[in-house]
């Protein structure tokens, strides 16, 4: 079976990440090991034959055999995300194909190399697969995650990221809130800019490999600013999502 052939997976678990984000764990009869950063296509077929297809990044690490986790943000008027939130329960079946993608992946071939991850909103999903892969592989290379969100209730994977901070001194989480910060917050409260990226790079012991994922505007701006700080083009990989107003 080719990874581009469609197969029927079974929803094994649904976890609420934020009020508008769920993670769907799906068991696959023809599971293929993926690389952190890849995605799956998900297809819905209506009784009249109408089809809708979307791509979703894999949140689970390659070490999680037999199943994948897809973290999905509910989009206003979204055909597929709306159906997943309103019409899918544990035990239901979904049509998928993958894993897909070969550019925006972290292969962990240089396990000591510094890593800079920059995310806006649900752009954190493929970066979380990289962090989980790193943890499962027992790596301790220096990593900074610079994560931009609008409000406190939109921090996807918040509990797990805080556990990473507590358990791994080589991991740094830099959160910035663009609309409303938590009460008593003394951290950053602005969009990602040159100063924030400079702080993130400065927390690493050497030039990092960079992965930037999120809305198009954020990604293009961050990539340009990283280049302006002297990082070579080949060290910056980007993945763009549609605009979300962040």
SS3 state at 64? coil
Q: What is the predicted pLDDT for the residue at 168?
A: 96
| Residues 90, 130: Cα–Cα separation, whole Å | 26
Percent of the chain residues topping a pLDDT of 70: 98
Q: Which among 213, 205, 196, 209 has a CA at the least distance from the CA of 129?
A: 213
DSSP β-bridge partners for residue 39:
57, 100
Mean per-residue pLDDT for 105-123?
A: 92
| Residues 246, 178: Cα–Cα separation, whole Å | 7
Angle between helices 216-228 and 194-202 (to 10 degrees): 60
For residues 29 and 108, the model is more confident at 29
Neighbours of 194 (CB within 10 A): 14
pLDDT at 46 over 60: yes
Q: What is the predicted pLDDT for the residue at 242?
A: 58
Per-residue confidence band for 221, with pLDDT thresholds at 50, 70 and 90:
very high
Per-residue confidence band for 67, with pLDDT thresholds at 50, 70 and 90:
very high
Per-chain mean pLDDT for the chain: 94
Tally the C-alpha atoms within 13 A of residue 211's C-alpha that lie toward its C-beta: 24
Give all domains of the chain, ordered by start, each with its CATH number: 7-100 (2.40.30.10), 115-241 (3.40.50.80)
Q: What is the predicted pLDDT for the residue at 245?
A: 38
| Residues 204, 195: Cα–Cα separation, whole Å | 15
Mean per-residue pLDDT for 8-28?
A: 98
Per-residue confidence band for 107, with pLDDT thresholds at 50, 70 and 90:
confident
- pLDDT, tens digit, 9 for 90 and up, residues 147-171: 999 999 999 999 999 999 999 999 9
pTM of the model: 0.95
User: Is residue 245 within 8 Å of residue 149, measured between CB atoms?
Assistant: no
DSSP β-bridge partners for residue 73:
21
Q: What is the predicted pLDDT for the residue at 246?
A: 38
Laid out side by side, the sheet with 171-177 consists of: 171-177, 143-149, 115-120, 209-215, 236-241
Q: Where are the alpha helices (DSSP H) in the chain?
A: 79-87, 124-136, 158-167, 194-202, 216-228
């Amino acid at each position: 079976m080719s990874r581009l052939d469609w197969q029927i997976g079974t929803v094994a678990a649904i976890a609420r990440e934020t009020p508008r984000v769920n993670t769907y764990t799906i068991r696959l009869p023809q599971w293929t090991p993926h690389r952190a950063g890849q995605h799956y296509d998900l297809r819905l077929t209506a009784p009249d034959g109408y089809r809708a297809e979307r791509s979703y990044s894999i949140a689970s690490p390659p070490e999680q055999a037999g199943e994948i986790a897809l973290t999905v943000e509910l989009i206003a008027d979204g055909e597929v995300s709306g159906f997943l939130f309103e019409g899918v329960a544990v035990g239901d079946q979904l049509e998928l194909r993958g894993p897909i993608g070969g550019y925006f992946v972290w292969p962990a071939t240089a396990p000591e190399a510094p890593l800079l991850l920059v995310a806006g909103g649900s752009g954190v999903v493929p970066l979380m697969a990289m962090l989980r892969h790193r943890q499962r592989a027992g790596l301790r290379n220096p990593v900074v995650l610079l994560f931009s969100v609008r409000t406190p209730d939109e921090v996807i994977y918040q509990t797990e990221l805080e556990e990473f901070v507590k358990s791994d001194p080589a991991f740094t989480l830099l959160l910035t809130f663009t609309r409303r910060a938590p009460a008593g917050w003394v951290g950053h409260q602005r969009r990602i800019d040159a100063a924030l990226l400079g702080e993130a790079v400065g927390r690493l012991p050497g030039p990092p490999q960079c992965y930037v994922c999120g809305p198009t505007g954020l990604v293009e701006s961050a990539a340009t600013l990283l280049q302006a700080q002297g990082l070579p083009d080949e060290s910056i990989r980007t993945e763009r999502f549609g605009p979300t107003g962040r």
